[in-house]
Amino acid sequence: MKTAHPRKRLAVAITAASMLALTACGGSGFDESAEEGGEQTQATDAPVSVLIGSSGDAETEAVNTAVDAWASESGVEASVIVASDLTQQLSQGFASGEPADVFYLSTDAFAGYAANGSLEPYGEDLENKDDYYPALREAFTYEDQLYCAPKDFSTLGLIINTAMWEEAGLTEEDIPTNWDELSAVAEQLTTDDVVGLGFSPEFQRLGVFTAQAGGGLVTDGEATVASPENAEALGYVKQMMTDGVAAYSSDLGAGWGGEAFGKGLAAMVIEGNWIAGAMTNDFPDIAYQVAELPAGPSGQGTLQFTNCWGIAADSDNVEGAKALVEHLTSPESQLAFAEAFGVMPSLQSVASDWSEQYPDLAAFIAGGEYAQNLPAQQGAADVLSELNSQLESLESSEPQQILESVQPLMESVLAG
Amino acid sequence: MTSHQASQSKPARSAPQRRGSIRGRQGLAGWLFIAPIILILGLFLVIPVLMAAWVSVSDWTGRGSPFSGSVNFVGTENYSTILGGEGLIGRDFGTSIRNNFYYVVLVVPLQTALSLFLAVMVNRQILKGRGFFRTAFYFPSVTSSVAITVLWLFLFSATGVVNKVLSFFAIEGPNWFQDPRGVLHILLGVVGLDQAPDALQDPAFLGISGWEWLAGPSVAMTAFVLMAIFTTSGTFMLLFIAALQNVSGEVQEAAMMDGATGWQRFRRVTLPMLRPTLFTVLTLGLIGTWQVFDQIYTGTQGGPAKTTLTPAYLSFNSAFVDQQWGVGAAIAFVLFAIIVVLTLVQRWALRERDVPRRRRMVPAGVSGGSSAAAAPGIAAPKDEKRDTH
């Protein structure tokens, strides 16, 4: 190739230089916003944006009402944005240095954001911080600091189709209180078209059995995936599946446990309190009852799921955001949310009000006493999904082998 | 007409003089004219790509600018994490490459063959209602991939239409999107080989055992393969129709006069003349299938048992969900490398070999003319070769 003509070279150089200049502009722009954030401590009038991942109109409406009430009271402008994909939109916000001020934060994402400094650790400043369930506080504690206020929580219970229950000749007395009784009623409820017990194919449901057996994926900071307790629990589940009295919702042709239950494919399912909304909306004709899960060899156990109100470290109005969160987690707001979309308040002092108001769902909040958190360390979500991918073939594999293959993965997550 | 022809043929003939005159003001004007697009491409393409390249060799955590002082250069750490096959992400990456490999191997040849077949069929003068069929076959390509995915989930559910139809033939269909079994494993199971032989149990490549590599596409992935063929063959059919219409009737007649049968005419006359289009279709197919994302994101999220996990989805997931931005960017660049290498291989395989002139049934001029018209935008291998000499 011949050497390029000087003028051509010049043009290329100019273009390259202008591109570099553009890069520089972009770069410094990002830097600015990143440095600005996190240092502001005085209350400002900057508007507060709230990013939520909503379960539906009822939830959006309820959050809107609560946020509007606070805005008119405090005089700070506040708006609610409903995310179409909360995780992605949060990540985008943090990367650009312009995150939403207040947002829903799941336990899965919590550790990652806490570790990279995206979150404002305001939890210790909360007036009612001692009123939260201890296990919920623990879920949002990173390096001994409570980062954010638990928004609400849900536990898993045993959902029973009352029509099928009566048809099988069972009464209130027969509600299972231990594993033997559970498999016995599951067998009685199983017919040609209906399986006795159904659940989604994931540890987020099967974990109740490991909790009841006294196991868990992480115990006191140590990976205990391959513990004999967990193997016993999965062995028990596998036995029920082999006997044909229990099945995964996916094998029944349903997307999740609630759908299998609503379609009458399973007489009992293990689900959380969100099932109440789903039943009202999608399957209003099915009568059901919620019971506490039976006890295993080591007593009662269930899993709990929660979110917190995260505040961005880069927020322009951290003080305003804190005040808003205080308002959103107040007993009144929490009870309003509970009424609107069926969540359970994260404050212990409101629990009895809640059970009185919703006696049908009281079994869920009773589970709060003995519920386990799923591990939420950074990277634990990936380990859980690896475990889930193996649990899909639980019926044809050896529980101990599954657990042993996941054990080193959990160990490396805890180590790193 | 004559002046038009003259202006068309001029550049080719007077190229040497023109090249000289670029030294004048015209060169600068040229740069001015393309400056806007260079700026736009630079701003929205080159700079983001460079930023991503930087992220892939840094420890950026997703907060603030990747160019801020707190972000460190970590060399090839992210790449070795995924390519070393170690840890969960390494194994996931291996699995995703395995899944996508089978997807490509099935989709690309099948969709190319089907689209060529459809194009030949709807290009026949004898066919009544050609317009209708062309529209019908093209229709799936127009529909949004998300909508088609939802439709597919519905069709292939455990009690869906597909299984209902299969049950008419006394076949019990699988629970398509929930079935993680590999098709090859199922076939091997039929001949009694349902456990991994000892030799295939250790991690072989990218952290996955030989037995896992031999799993083939899972039943769930097969449903996606069918979907890809269904949606894309319409688009490529259109390209082939355009190319077929450039094959002049005289050539066909001449071949007929030489006594070539219908199949011989297709095999020895039509197909060689479609080579540039074939190249286009295969290249677009390769790129599209290695980048499969929408279907996975809206459909299965990588499940069941990670058998529909693809590198594109894994890259998204590592970056946005796990906050492993460096790893996510590294996966994207490895994917880019795979696509480039495979395109080059394909280009080499499809190159025009030096066939002795007397064995050619097509006059060189006709072939060259059709290639330029049939593959707009993508240079035919033949033309490339001419340029380099």
Look at residue A9 and tell me whether its pLDDT is greater than 90. no
pLDDT value at position A80?
94
Closest approach of B323 to chain A, Cα-based (Å): 7
pLDDT digits (tens, 9 = 90+) for B113-140: 999 999 988 888 777 788 888 888 888 8
pLDDT digits (tens, 9 = 90+) for B245-303: 888 888 888 988 888 888 888 888 888 889 889 999 999 999 999 999 999 999 888 87
Across chain A, mean pLDDT equals 87
Indicate which CATH number applies to the domain containing B321: 1.10.3720.10
Residue B196 confidence class, pLDDT cut points 50, 70, 90: confident
- Sign (positive or negative) of CA dihedral B269, B272, B277, B282: positive
pLDDT digits (tens, 9 = 90+) for B56-103: 999 988 888 888 888 889 989 999 989 987 788 898 999 999 999 999
Q: Is B346 on the interface with A (CB under 8 A)?
A: no
Question: Residue B274 belongs to what domain range?
Answer: 79-349
H or E segment and range at residue A364 = helix A362-367
Yes or no: say if A185 and A170 are a contact pair by the CB < 8 Å rule.
yes
- Cβ atoms within 10 Å of B236's Cβ, excluding its own: 24
pLDDT value at position A49?
93
H or E segment and range at residue A246 = strand A246-248
pLDDT digits (tens, 9 = 90+) for A147-164: 999 999 999 999 999 999
pLDDT value at position A174?
93
> How far is Cα A246 from Cα A195, in angstroms, rounded to an integer?
6
Domain assignments of chain A as residue spans, ordered by start = 16-154+305-372, 155-303+374-414
- pTM for the whole thing? 0.81
> How far is Cα A285 from Cα A292, in angstroms, rounded to an integer?
23
- Sign (positive or negative) of CA dihedral B194, B197, B201, B206: negative
A169-180 mean pLDDT: 93
A343-371 mean pLDDT: 89
Task: Provide the domain count of chain B.
Answer: 1
pLDDT value at position B266?
87
Look at residue A19 and tell me whether its pLDDT is greater than 70. no
Q: Is A20 on the interface with B (CB under 8 A)?
A: no
CA B47 centroid distance within chain: 25
- Sign (positive or negative) of CA dihedral B335, B341, B343, B349: negative
Task: Kindly write down the DSSP assignment for every residue of B81-142, as one continuous string.
Answer: HHHTT-HHHHHHHHHHHHHHHHHHHHHHHHHHHHHHHHHHHHT-TT-TTHHHHHHHHHHHHH
- Cβ atoms within 10 Å of B98's Cβ, excluding its own: 23
pLDDT value at position A1?
43
H or E segment and range at residue A339 = helix A331-341
pLDDT value at position A24?
43
Maximum separation of any 2 CA atoms in chain A, in Å: 95
- Structure tokens, A85: 């994909």
Q: A49-58, B20-29, B326-335, B374-383 — which one is most confidently predicted on average?
A: B326-335
A287-302 mean pLDDT: 94
For A116, the closest of B28, B62, B319 (CB atoms) is B62
pLDDT value at position B359?
53
Q: Is B62 on the interface with A (CB under 8 A)?
A: yes
A37-49 mean pLDDT: 66
For B320, the closest of A91, A116, A382 (CB atoms) is A91
**Fold of the CATH domain A155-303+374-414:** D-Maltodextrin-Binding Protein; domain 2 (3.40.190)
Q: Is A266 on the interface with B (CB under 8 A)?
A: no
Residue B170 lies in a domain: yes
For A250, the closest of B175, B319, B320 (CB atoms) is B175
Residue B257 lies in a domain: yes
Look at residue A278 and tell me whether its pLDDT is greater than 90. no
Q: Is A89 on the interface with B (CB under 8 A)?
A: no
Chain A residues close to B158, C-beta within 8 Å: 251-253
Q: Phi and psi (nearest 5°) for B196?
A: -65, 130
Residue B30 lies in a domain: no
A300-307 mean pLDDT: 93
Residue B344 lies in a domain: yes
Look at residue B5 and tell me whether its pLDDT is greater than 80. no
Beta carbons of B47 and A23 less than 8 Å apart: yes
* Exposure string for B54-79, b = 16+ CB within 10 A, e = fewer: bbbbbbbbbbbbbbbeebeeeeeebb
H or E segment and range at residue B205 = strand B203-205
- Sign (positive or negative) of CA dihedral B258, B261, B267, B269: positive
**CA neighbor of A29 nearest in space, from B210, B92, B200, B68:** B68
| Alpha helices per DSSP H over A174-213 | 179-189, 203-212
For B65, the closest of A22, A27, A253 (CB atoms) is A27
Distances (CA, A) of B287 to A95, A160, A269, B110, B234: 28, 50, 44, 15, 17
> How far is Cα A218 from Cα A379, in angstroms, rounded to an integer?
13
Superfamily of domain A16-154+305-372: Periplasmic binding protein-like II (3.40.190.10)
H or E segment and range at residue B16 = helix B15-21
Residue B358 confidence class, pLDDT cut points 50, 70, 90: low
CA angle, residues B94, B99, B100, in degrees to nearest 5: 100
> How far is Cα B196 from Cα B214, in angstroms, rounded to an integer?
10
Distances (CA, A) of B121 to B124, B239, B276: 6, 14, 20
Beta carbons of B67 and A27 less than 8 Å apart: yes
Yes or no: say if A345 and A331 are a contact pair by the CB < 8 Å rule.
yes
Dihedral angle at the C-alpha atoms of B93, B84, B335, B350, nearest 10 degrees?
-110
Q: Do domains A16-154+305-372 and A155-303+374-414 have the same CATH topology?
A: yes
Q: Is A378 on the interface with B (CB under 8 A)?
A: yes
A residues 199-258 lying closer than 8 A (beta carbon) to B = 250-253
Q: Is B27 on the interface with A (CB under 8 A)?
A: yes
